[in-house]
Structure 1
Amino acid sequence: MRPVLALTALLATAGCWRSTGARSDGPVDLLVLAPHPDDEVLMAAGLLGRAVRDGKSVAVVLMTNGDYTCARDGLLRQQETIQAMRSLGVTEAQIHFLGYPDGYLPKLGENPLPPIERRNPDGSCGRANTTLPARGAGHPDEHTRRTGVPAPLTAKALLGDLTAVLERLQPREVVLPHPIDEHPDHAATYAYFRRALEGLKRGPVTVHRSVVHQGNCWPGDCQVELSPESKVPLLPAPLEAYLPSERFPADGRAKEALIADYHSQTGPQLEQSWLASFAKADEVFFPETLQRDDAGHWSSGPAQTLDGEGTRALQWCMGEACRGYQVELDGTQLTLREAEGHVVRRWTAVDATKWTLEVRPGAGDFSEWSLSTPQGLVGVAVLPGAKGALTSVER
């Protein structure tokens, strides 16, 4: 059954969460960048609520409307986000929908996507290949707000829209998906954010990266029922030692009540929904501090860098212990695999011929391997070994 306590009473136990007003421009103290309607609550309901309660300015930016075919009504999902955010004290004027299609963020390239099935504002099922103007700050999508017309479904258009909204809002802190998230839209959201930074004069002070999809059950447990009073568990193997360095307390019952607002995603029985497993007593993040390097590009610190094209064999050595890896680029996919053939991560890389690999220390005894093409960051993998030497192996 759904939570029976009134949301207002639940929130009162954590302090009075009040509206920060209808401010829609920056600078804002906290911006949550969500791939789909519901991710803003799954990642950061507690952090958002605390910011509102403390009188800080906030904004929520959604990459898609969650409209994956007509079976998932993007307009309904927009309304669910607006309702849940209203309960937190975030007004519709503080919510910005970019309006790109659910499930297609990694597939955007130079040429517009063909028309995609989606629900029209009048309730009919149709097809279109532009962003969908509907709700949020000013009511249209970001591209329509700026130009008067919806955007074509291209990587350039999305990058331009995200850069523009970040430039206008000037967030001091950003919550967004961790690039190791297994959902392609989540990993792509981080990649587009890093590309957008290159067009900004100033970036956020701190980035809080959140994992939503990792394994079949996480953050729940396939065998043990976890309650809203429990804490977020460790990531599943092989990343259980990749520890978040930020844990913020949250009211699990209040978060459960907010998750219940997303009726289209939870179904009639909230407790049977995977989304309910995000109602926990804390929220965890992997923070990243970004800075401009000597070339004027944004990075998260010094890295070992290797350029290549096509397929290249690599060695990652920690003392005398070495592991072999391989980077493969075939023009549509960029793959990082172990020498034995196991695929570590695979990303969509549209119209690319060259790549750059950057390796820098991550959390715990891990390193973050960032792969980019001339179009910008494609993806990040987290691998064991915080300190090592990266070399190219002649074939």
Structure 2
Amino acid sequence: MLPMVSQMPLLNAAALPLRSVQTITGSVLVVAPHPDDETLGCGGAIALLRTLGYPVQILVMSDGTMSHPRSLKYPTPRLQALREAETLEAMSILGVSEAAVTFLRLQDGSIPTSTSPGRQEVVARCRTWLEPLQPATIFLPWRADPHPDHRATWTLMRAALADFNEAPRMIEYPIWDWDPEQQGALANFTQVMGWRLDIRSMLETKQAAIAAYRSQTTNLIDDDPDGFQLTPEMLANFARPWEVYLEEMP
């Protein structure tokens, strides 16, 4: 029996049991709220799955352009193109082809929640895209991640899959819960279990893929005083030889 999640899903994460990637079956979809979430949260899993020959598709929900909203060097269209190019480079490093990457291009910071106008249209777009794919396993953001775009992505995917005859296995990955300043008091998810995936053999590959996101990890965009950059402390959370996943148990 895997340990159940209480208020802090990453508390004592190193004590969570290890699982093999070979417990995953069939085709895989990794859903990212922003360009880079898929690599930060699941880069090791993606690389392992591709090494073993699993088909892996990537769906990036938002355009990522709110990372540097005041940059004159990188106005919105140029920044969107840059972030998509970074994603394709990172995926190439992890073994995923360009043809297997889809950008939904929703507005960063405004992924529709359950009360947002136009949400049903986005749900329908997601359902239409998912129907021919029929993934057996979906990696998606942790349902209680502090970032609203991450939580909204989780609810959108659940809504889009609601009418599927065979529900895929849903594996959730945390991103911002690693930051103690953003962790909040969470509900008691009594049916959510935590586990770890050993990615030691792919850690160097994952780190190279993260480094492909130069707009997020370096001072490449230097003309926006409010621009976002992943700190060394934040990046250290994704340099561990394992990744943490959370899963609702029947």
Instruction: Settle same-fold status: TM greater than 0.5.
Output: yes
Bigger RCO of structures 1 and 2 (CA < 8 A, at least 6 apart): 2
Q: 2:199 aligns with which of 240, 243, 250?
A: 250
- C-alpha distance in 1, partners of 2:121/2:186? 37
**Corresponding residue for residue 238 of structure 2:** 278
Structure 2 gaps of 5+ residues are 1-24, 220-228
Is the 2:62–2:104 contact (alpha carbons within 8 Å) kept by the matching residues of 1?
A: yes
2:107 is equivalent to residue 101 of structure 1: yes
Say if 2:113 and 2:155, in contact at 8 Å, map to a contact too.
no
Pairwise CA distance, 1:29: 1.3
Contact conserved, 1:37 with 1:66, CA < 8 A, in 2? Answer: yes
In structure 2, what is the equivalent of residue 60 of structure 1?
58
**Per-residue CA distance 1:187-231 (angstroms, 9 max, x = gap):** 011101111112323321x21111111263489xxxxxxxxxxxx
Q: Does 1:163 find its partner at 2:127?
A: yes
SS at match of 1:182: coil
Aligned counterparts, 1:156-235, within 5 A: 156-204=120-168, 206-214=169-177, 216-217=179-180
Q: Is the contact between residue 31 and residue 61 of structure 2 (CA under 8 Å) also seen in structure 1?
A: yes
Gap change, CA 1:255 and 1:218, over 3 Å in 2: farther
Residues 1-395 of structure 1: pairs in structure 2 closer than 5 A: 29-68=27-66, 69=69, 71=71, 73-106=79-112, 111=117, 154-204=118-168, 206-214=169-177, 216-217=179-180, 244-251=193-200, 252-268=203-219, 272=232, 274-288=234-248, 301=250
Cα distance change on mapping 1:53 and 1:267 into 2, 3 Å:
same
Label 1:107 to 1:209 Cα distance change in 2 as closer, same or farther (>3 A).
Answer: closer
- In 2: Cα distance, 1:239 partner to 1:264 partner: 34
Q: Is the 8 A contact 2:62 2:106 kept in 1?
A: yes
SS in 2 for 1:209: strand
Q: What SS is found at the alignment partner of 2:243?
A: strand
Which structure features the higher share of helix residues? 2
CA gap 1:170/1:256 in 2 versus in 1, 3 angstroms? same
Change (3 A) 1:67 1:98: same
Kept in 2, the 8 Å contact 1:106–1:184? The answer is: no
Whole-Å separation in 2 of the counterparts to 1:173 and 1:263: 29
- Once the 2 structures are TM-superposed, how far is the Cα of residue 280 of structure 1 from its aligned partner? 1.1
| C-alpha deviation, 1:276, in angstroms | 4.2
Q: Which has the larger radius of gyration?
A: 1
The CA deviation string for residues 137-176 of structure 1, in whole angstroms up to 9 with x for no partner, is xxxxxxxxxxxxxxxxx21221111111211211111100
SS of structure 2 residue aligned to 1:36: coil
Q: Secondary structure at the match of 2:212?
A: coil
Between 192-201 and 178-187, the greater mean CA deviation after superposition: 192-201
Name the aligned partner's letter for residue 44 of structure 2: G
CA distance in 1, matches of 2:136, 2:240: 26
Judge conservation of contact 1:85–1:91 (CA < 8 Å) in 2: yes
Normalized per residue, which structure has more strand?
Answer: 1
CA contact (8 A) 1:259 1:276 kept: no
Which TM-score applies when normalising by structure 1? 0.47
CA distance in 2, matches of 1:185, 1:51: 26
Distance in 2 between residues matched to 1:203 and 1:240, nearest whole Å: 24
SS in 1 for 2:177: coil
Contact 1:207–1:287 (CA<8 Å) still a contact in 2? yes
* 8 Å contact from structure 1 (residues 215, 236) kept in 2: no
Residues 47 and 206 in structure 2, CA contact (< 8 A), matched pair in contact too? no
Which ranges of structure 1 fall in alignment gaps of 5 or more residues? 1-26, 112-153, 220-234, 290-300, 302-395
How far the C-alpha of 1:93 sits from its partner, in A, is 0.4
Deviation track 1:42-98 (CA, whole Å, cap 9, x = no partner) reads: 111111111111111110011112122464622211111100000111011000111
CA RMSD of aligned residues (A): 3.1
Cα pair 1:163 1:199 within 8 Å, conserved: no
Question: Is 2:216–2:230's contact at 8 Å kept on the other side of the alignment?
Answer: no
Structure 1 CA distance for aligned equivalents of residues 56 and 178 of structure 2:
31
Identity percentage of aligned residues = 33
1:311 — aligned with what? none
